[in-house]
Structure 1
Amino acid sequence: MIGDITGYMDVAQMTLYAFWLFFLLLVLYLHRENKREGYPLETDDYRRVKVVGFPGLPDPHSYKMLHGADDIVRPGTDRPEYELKAKRITPHYSDPFHPTGDPLVDGVGPAAWAIRPDFPDLTFEGEPKVVPMRVATDFKVAHQDPDPRGKAVLGLDNEVAATVTDLWVDRSEPQVRYLEIEVRENGKRALVPLTLSRIRSDGTVKVHCLRAAQFANMPTLSNPDQITLQEEDRVCAYVGGGTLYGTRERTEPLL
C-alpha cells in the first residue's frame, strides 16, 4: 500500500511514535528546568541527605537583570544558611514543627519569608516602584474614599496599636500597597499591607491579623522612602503570619 515502509509500519505510525518521543523529551526537559531553584532538597534529620531525583540538575545559566543589577546564576551556589527556630513536637520525623520563640519575628510557618534581593523593585524607567505619597506627589486619595492618614489603627483585640502616617503606592500599577504607621508603644515606623487591613468609613483601620502589642516588633525599613524586595517579604510575612499566631487560640485545633 502507498505509505508503507515495511509490511507492518507506515508513515502515520512513525509520525505517532515521533510525537510520543518528542512529548516524553519535552516533559523531561521541563521537569529538569523546574529544578533551577529549590534543589537539591535536603532532609531535616541528622543525615542531611540531598535529594535531586531524576532527571538531574540543569547546567548553570546566568540571567541578566534589568537596570544593571547583579546577574543571577541558577542553579547557583548561594544557598542561604540560617537557623531554624523550631523543633519537632516529638522525635518522630513525620511530626510537625513547633516554634521555639516568637514565630512572627523568627519567620516560622506562615510567618516565614523568602531570601530575596535586598534592593527595591523598579519601574521600567528605573525608579523605585513602591513609594510613599510624600514621594509620589502625583497620587492622591479619591474624594469618594476615606483617607486613613492621621487615623488610628486597631488590632484584632480592638486596642489602638498605631496611627497611619502615609500611604505607599505602586507607580506601575496605580494602587495603594501599604499603610505606613507609627506604632504607639515605641514610635517606630512600619508598614502594613493594605490587603491585610480594612479601612472603615470613618478612616480608622482594623488589622485582624495582629494584637495591638504585636505591632511593637514589626520589621522596619532601612530607607524611610523605599522598600526592598526582601523587606516586602518580611513585612507581609510578619502581618500575614498573625492569621495563625495572632492569638494562642488560633494555633489550637478547632475540635
Structure 2
Amino acid sequence: MEIGAITQHIDVAQVTLYVFWVFFAILIFYIRLEDRREGYPLESDGSGAYNKDPWLFVPPAKTFLLPHGHGEASFPDGKRDNEDRPVPGEKIAPFEGAPYVPTADNPMLSSIGPGSWAERSDTVDLTHEGAAKIVPMRIDKDWSIAEGDIDPKGIRVVGCDLIVVGKVVDAWVDRSEQMMRYLEVETEVGEASRRVLLPMNFTVMRKTREGERIFYVHAITGEQFALVPGTKSDSSVTLLEEDKITAYFGSGLLYATPARQEPWA
C-alpha cells in the first residue's frame, strides 16, 4: 500500500473528504436552525394560517442577556408577530403579496408602509458608560453650538403647506455619535401647545424673502405636527419612541396629502 493508505480502498485524503462533508452538512443544518430563531413559524399571506415547520428544524430557545441590566430575552418565544398589534389596514387585492392600505382615520399613525415602526424596547438607548445617549443640550453643558455656526433655538419651523408650526426651543444631541439628532419644537398648532421632536434628516434650512431663516419640513403639513408621537420624558427618548417619531415623518411622504398617493403624471 502507498503512503497514507489505511486499507487498499481507503486513504487519509478520502477520510478527510468524508469528514469535511459531514462537518459541512452539520453546519448547514445548524445555520438553518438559527435562521428560524425569529420570524417563525411562517404565516400564509393569504389565509393567515401557520406554515408549521417540522419539529426537527425548530431550534431550542436561547436566552440572551440584555445590556445595562435590562433583563433577558428568549427566542424563539412562539409569539405571533401581530398578536398584540393587528395590522390596521386591508389589502388592495386578494392575492399573495398585495400591499396594504390603512383603514384608520389617520394613516400616518397606522404603522403601514413608510410609516412602519418596529416593536423596539421602550427603554432609553444608553452609552457604553450607561448614560442616556440622546439628550437635549440644556441638560448637558458639555455640548454647545460651535462659534460661527447657527444656533437653531428660536428659528421658526414651517410645514410643507408653509404653515408656521412653532419655534425650536432646543437641540437634542447624540453623545456617542457626536451629532445633532433632533430639534425640539414648541408647536403653535392643534388644540394645545406641546413640545415634539423633529428628526434632523427631515429638515432643510431656508431663507424667506425677508431674509429670515426657517426650518422647512417637506414630509408633513403644519397642522400634522399636532399629532407627532410624544415622549414620556422631557429629557430623554426611548428606542420605541424614536421609531414611532421617525415613522410618523416618513409616512408623511406618502400620506400627508391625498395627492402624494396618486401616480405621477
Identify whether the pair has TM-score above 0.5, normalized to the shorter chain: yes
Change (3 A) 1:124 1:5: same
Structure 1: gaps of 5 or more residues: none
Give the one of 125, 137, 143 matched to 1:133. Answer: 137
Structure 1 window deviating more from structure 2 (172-181 vs 34-43): it is 34-43
The residue that corresponds to 1:208 in the other structure is 218
Compare 84-93 and 235-244 and name the one that shifted more.
Answer: 84-93
What's the counterpart of residue 57 of structure 1?
58
Q: Distance in 1 between matches of 2:180 and 2:36?
A: 35
1:157 paired with 2:158, answer no
Task: Name the SS of the counterpart of 1:211 in structure 2.
Answer: coil
Aligned residue in 1 for 2:114: 110
Q: In the alignment, is residue 75 of structure 1 matched against residue 76 of structure 2?
A: yes
Question: Contact 1:130–1:168 (CA<8 Å) still a contact in 2?
Answer: yes
Cα separation, partners in 2 of 1:21 and 1:154, compared to 1, 3 Å: farther
Q: What per-residue deviation string (whole Å, max 9, x for no partner) do you get for residues 14-36 of structure 1?
A: 32333343233223322321222
What are the superposed Cα offsets for residues 19-77 of structure 1, whole Å, 9 maximum, x if unpaired? 34323322332232122222222224445224447962211111112222121111124
Residue 38, structure 1, aligned to residue 44, structure 2: no
RMSD over equivalenced CA pairs, Å: 2.4
The CA distance in 2 between the partners of 1:190 and 1:115, in whole Å, is 21
**Larger Rg over CA atoms:** 2
Task: Give the match's secondary structure for 1:134.
Answer: helix
The residue aligned with 1:121 is 125
| Cα-to-partner distance string for 1:177-220 (whole Å, 9 max, x where unaligned) | 11111222031211111122223476521222112222121101
Distance change in 2, residues 1:72/1:247 (3 Å): same
Report deviation, 1:124: 2.0
Distance 2:156 2:35 in 1: 46
Matches of 2:127 and 2:158, distance apart in 1: 33
Q: Which residue of structure 1 aligns with residue 19 of structure 2?
A: 18
| 5+ long unaligned stretches in structure 2 | none
Aligned mate of 2:92, from 89, 93, 113: 89
2:118 is aligned with what amino acid? A
Measure the CA separation in 1 of the matches of 2:16 and 2:138: 64
Q: Distance in 1 between matches of 2:28 and 2:20?
A: 12
Structure 1 range deviating more: 181-190 or 40-49: 40-49
Please give the TM-score of this superposition, normalised by the length of structure 2. Answer: 0.85
Question: CA, structure 1 residues 169+21, in 2 after alignment: closer, same or farther (shift >3 Å)?
Answer: same
Amino acid at match of 1:11: V
Would the alpha carbon gap of residues 51 and 134 (structure 1) be closer, same or farther in structure 2, given more than 3 Å must change?
farther
Task: Number of aligned residue pairs: give it.
Answer: 255
Deviations along 1:198-247, one digit per CA (max 9) or x if unpaired, are 23476521222112222121101111111111111101111122222233
Deviations 1:74-101 (A, max 9, x none): 1124554222111012333443221112
Contact 1:149 1:165 in 2 (8 A): yes
Percent identity reads 40
Distance 1:93 1:33 in 2: 26
Higher mean alpha-carbon deviation, 201-210 vs 238-247, is at 201-210
Q: Partners of 1:81 and 1:9 in 2: how far apart?
A: 59
Cα separation, partners in 2 of 1:65 and 1:5, compared to 1, 3 Å: same
Q: Which is worse superposed, 134-143 or 200-209?
A: 200-209
Contact 2:165 2:223 in 1 (8 A): yes
Letter aligned with residue 133 of structure 2: K
